[in-house]
Amino acid sequence: MGRSLCLAGPAARFRLRPQRGRDAVKTERPVRLSAFAFAILALPHLALAQEVVDAPEKLSPIERLGAVLSFFADNATAAAERLEALMLGLDDFPAEVSGFLHGVSEDGFSLGAVILRIILCLGIGAVAEAVFRAIFRRFRAGFDPKSLVQRIIHVAVDLAGLLIFAMVGGWPLLMSVQADPGAQLFVVTYLTAFFAIRGFALLARIPLSPGRADLRIVALSDPAAGRLYWQSVGIFALAIFFLATTSLLRQAGMPADETLTLSLFSRSVVTLLLIIACLTNRFSVAAILATDPAGRSRGLGWKSLSTVWHLFAIFYICLSWFGTSLLLLLNRPQAGTLAVLGFMIILALVIGCLLMDDWAARADARDRARRRAALEAEPQMALPHDVPTFAQFFARLGQAAAVLVALLALIRLWSGPWQGLSNARITAIMPSLTQLLVTLVLAYVGWHLVLIGSQRMLLKAAYAEGTDEAEKALRQSRVATVLPLVRNTLLITIASIASIIAISALGIDVLPLLAGAGIVGIAIGMGSQTLVKDVISGIFFLVDDAFRVGDLVDVGVASGTVERAGIRSVQIRHPLGAIHTVPFGEIRTIANKSRDWAAMWLEFRLPLETDLDGLEPRFRALNDAFLADPVHGRNLVAPLENAGIVMIDDSAMVLRIVYKCRPGTQFALRAVVYDAVRRMFREAGISIAPREVRLRAEPDFSYTRRDGVPSEPEQKTGRSGDEGA
């Protein structure tokens, strides 16, 4: 055999040699049970390497489904038989691998010499990299970790050190094995794996920075960051080593059964280590998901994901291991890249969503700082602190798009085809599935766009231009009244349209649904005229701005403060605490006592001999005192007005005082005005005239009792008459 094929075939082809007799029977029973379990688990995995039988078009859907399931069962059976054969040959696996390596060494390939050359060249490269870092360390004395430019320079220095290592150590190593194809294949394979590990470690060091809390992007402690970093790098290095070794042995000519056994074993080890890493770093990753780099808490969605992320990760890891193992057993070695590509897609999705969320948080922080500055410069023009920003919308838009792209990529990745094994069902439903996902994403984005835009416009209308606090309060109440109704209406509209489009994308004819909805709508309209009347009346009440949340109203059947305005009814809280739910259709008139101003008059009974001209200066002084009062003066819309005498009865004259104030403050002012006027009267020596009841009895007044007995005067008169007679 020529030197160029020194790794290609000295080892004999591996053949299964199961033991005979009682030992073989004992071994085959558990193997058959495990193979049967593997076949059962493979049946529901419909998205993996399965080919739909070319059945006639006249088959019914049930028959087509049966044909597909039959094909799935055939593939699962083949995979289970292959697994059974591999397990029966495990006893001979070490001997076969040893024989293969011995045959390779006999063809002139010296593994020890190649490894010694690798150690020498890479050692020289490591020394060169260390010298470069030592030289550059002097320039890092004034390094500012908060500066983005200096952070980029720091990463660039690490990348430059890796390039120097590659040029000084890797390049001479490649040149030294040009004459030996076997050694060249060995060096290229493991050198590529080594630089892949170094690159991954460099990328993982950017957010985690073990031992450098000032450079760390994520909000983790030093022990947590170090544990997550070294476990990630270690598992990645082990996975790359197994992948490189398996690929090298396959190219070197190792029989397929030994290569497959090694591949299944290595994948099982890496899967177990990944599950352990997910459990040991559960809280560290949860902290990254729930808290941004600045220490601020993320949204509710991220908090919810942080509590269950390890369950999703373990589920995907197990599913990926099962799927790739099944494909490898079906002689699809390229399926080994599926797990890696799927992991990279999910990791890129999570990192991209986190970056977009952090960008939105920074934009919100800048917007809050700008509003704070505007509040200090001109308070009446400042927006509220919690006004939604479009940065949140664009972040949600980007996250939704990223999720959509990742889902489509994963579906396309795991649905084949691979070397003739295609899934026609997956290929057929991909357009409909894409339309469905796009519809859901557009509905999600449209809802948030309308919500944020409408809320910003309403809040700006409530806070822009105007120094009058009453006007701001009225606009705010208008926002609180209209915004929930608009939000619910938009939600129902978007959800209805998205549902119809989604059902249509699934292949269901929506025309019967629309026709049925029309018939049901007519029936509801005819049988629910009162409901329609309530809804339409409520719409016009809100359009006319007849009331707002917080207004004091009287609708005839109830009076009190408006608590909530819905689509069909309004809730009014009585001053005694009871809540009245009044349908809009039952409201004939609305007396709103909270608009513009409220008036109240107070009446005082004064003696008839009171000097009214002397009270006028005192009223003017009292009015000036009220207007200058910092608490009650700002509630007055107009000065106190002496309306004069409005009525005179037989014992007193009634003096009326009228005042106008802001709505809702008239009752508090009433007690204050009563007390101030009472003190003013006391200082002027004027007393409040009490109500009097005057009785006058005539000298000959007499009456007769109900029992017919004459009164006392009549009896006396009678006796006098008798005596006179």
Whether 328 is covered by a domain: the verdict is no
Tokens encoding 699 = 């000298």
Name the domain count of the chain: 3
Q: Is the pLDDT of residue 58 over 50?
A: no
Q: Is the pLDDT of residue 46 over 70?
A: no
Please check whether residues 582 and 608 belong to one and the same domain.
no
d(CA 558, CA 539): 20
Looking at residue 215, its pLDDT comes to 77
Contact 80, 36 (CB under 8 A): yes
Q: What's the CATH code of the domain at 646?
A: 3.30.70.100
Q: What is the DSSP string of 247-296?
A: HHHHHHT--HHHHHHHHHHHHHHHHHHHHHHHHHTHHHHHHHHHB-TTS-
Is there a domain that residue 513 lies in?
no
Is 321 inside any structural domain?
no
Angle at 577 between CA 572 and CA 579, to 5 degrees: 35
Residues 629 and 679 in one domain: yes
Out of 38, 59, 88, pick the residue that ends a domain.
88
Q: How far apart are CA 166 and CA 672, in angstroms?
A: 88
Residue 581: CATH number of its domain = 2.30.30.60
Across 55-183, where does the E strand assignment appear? Answer: none
| Residue 25 sits in the same domain as residue 74 | yes
| Residue 79 covered by a domain | yes
Q: Which of 78-87, 147-156, 443-452, 601-610 tops mean pLDDT?
A: 601-610
State the amino acid at position 53 in one-letter form: V
Q: How far apart, in whole angstroms, are the C-alpha atoms of residue 347 and residue 330?
A: 28
The alpha carbon dihedral of 610, 612, 613, 616 has a sign of positive
* pTM exceeds 0.75: no
CA dist., res. 575 & res. 436, Å (int): 52
Rg (CA), the chain: 45
Contact 324, 267 (CB under 8 A): yes
Backbone torsions φ then ψ of 302, nearest 5 degrees? -65, -40
Is the domain of 602 the same as that of 589? no
Q: In terms of domains, do 568 and 604 share one?
A: no
Same domain for 563 and 633? no
588 and 634 belong to one structural domain? no
Q: Are residues 575 and 606 in the same domain?
A: no
Q: How far, in Å, CA of 100 to CA of 252, rounded?
A: 10
Least Cα distance to 177 among 166, 168, 188, 169 occurs for: 188
Q: Are residues 585 and 627 in the same domain?
A: no
- Taking only the tens place, the pLDDT of each residue in 3-40 is 333 443 333 333 333 333 434 433 444 434 344 333 33
Among the three residues 88, 104, 125, which one is the final residue of a domain in this structure?
88
- Same domain as 661, residue 616: yes
Helix, strand, coil percent values for the chain (each to nearest 5) = 65, 10, 25
Rounded to 5 degrees, what angle do the CA atoms 183, 184, 189 make?
100
Both structure tokens of 63: 């028959």
pLDDT, tens digit, for every residue of 225-259?
889 999 999 999 998 888 888 888 777 777 777 78
Report d(CA 553, CA 584) in Å as an integer.
14
Q: How far apart are the first and last CA of the chain?
A: 178
Beta carbons within 10 angstroms of residue 249's beta carbon: 21
Taking residue 535's Cβ as centre, other Cβ atoms within 10 Å add up to 17
Domain presence at residue 26 = yes
Q: Name the more confident of 195 and 614.
A: 195
* DSSP codes, 528-545: -HHHHHHHHHHHHHHHTT
Residue 618 shares a structural domain with residue 561: no
Task: Give the pairing of strands 579-583 and 569-573.
Answer: antiparallel
Domain region containing 59: 18-88
Would you call 524 helix, strand, or coil by DSSP? helix
Is the backbone peptide bond immediately before 690 cis, with ω within 30 degrees of 0? no
pLDDT-wise least confident of 101-105, 197-201, 355-359: 101-105
Domain presence at residue 352: no
* Cα 230 from Cα 349, distance rounded (Å): 22
**In a shared domain, residues 554 and 609:** no
Q: Per the structure block, which two tokens stand in for 271?
A: 């899967």
Domain boundary among 73, 88, 103: 88
Range from 118-122, 390-394, 416-420, 602-606 carrying the lowest mean pLDDT: 416-420
Q: Is residue 37 part of a domain?
A: yes
Mean pLDDT of 78-89: 77
DSSP string computed for 602-613: EEEEE-TT--ST
For residue 306, is it within any domain?
A: no
